[in-house]
Amino acid sequence: MQIVQVLIQAGAWIDPHEEGDVYLTPLMGAAQLGHIQIVEFLLEKGADPTRHGGYCLATAEYYARADNPKKFVLAAILRKAEDQWRVVHRP
């Protein structure tokens, strides 16, 4: 967690890839690996939970459902974040 905080404070991009890119965003990677604190931190810093990408071209919620014991907690956090994001960033 400390490394992520240092990188963000140093100016690392929260969402470094384009929509639909084949790479995972930091939010997707943290969700897939079950890092709840990092997911919450990235969301607080403005990570887009609705962005599609990675090898499945899915959102972070999909990657949160990987085979890890925290998948239901992560999926709930990300689903709520997606709903909030859509309200604020509505076209």
For 80, the token pair is: 């709520």
Distance CA 89, CA 91 (A): 6
pLDDT bucket at 40, cuts 50 / 70 / 90 = very high
Average pLDDT, the chain: 88
Instruction: Count Cβ neighbours within 10 Å for each residue of 60-71 and write b for 16 or more, e otherwise.
Output: bbbbbeeeeebb
Cα dihedral 83, 20, 23, 70, rounded to 10, equals 30
Is the pLDDT confidence value at 88 over 80?
yes
Nearest alpha carbon to residue 60 among 33, 86, 84, 41: 33
For 32, the token pair is: 């897939």
For the chain, domains (ranges, CATH) are: 2-11+19-88 (1.25.40.20)
pTM attached to this predicted model: 0.84
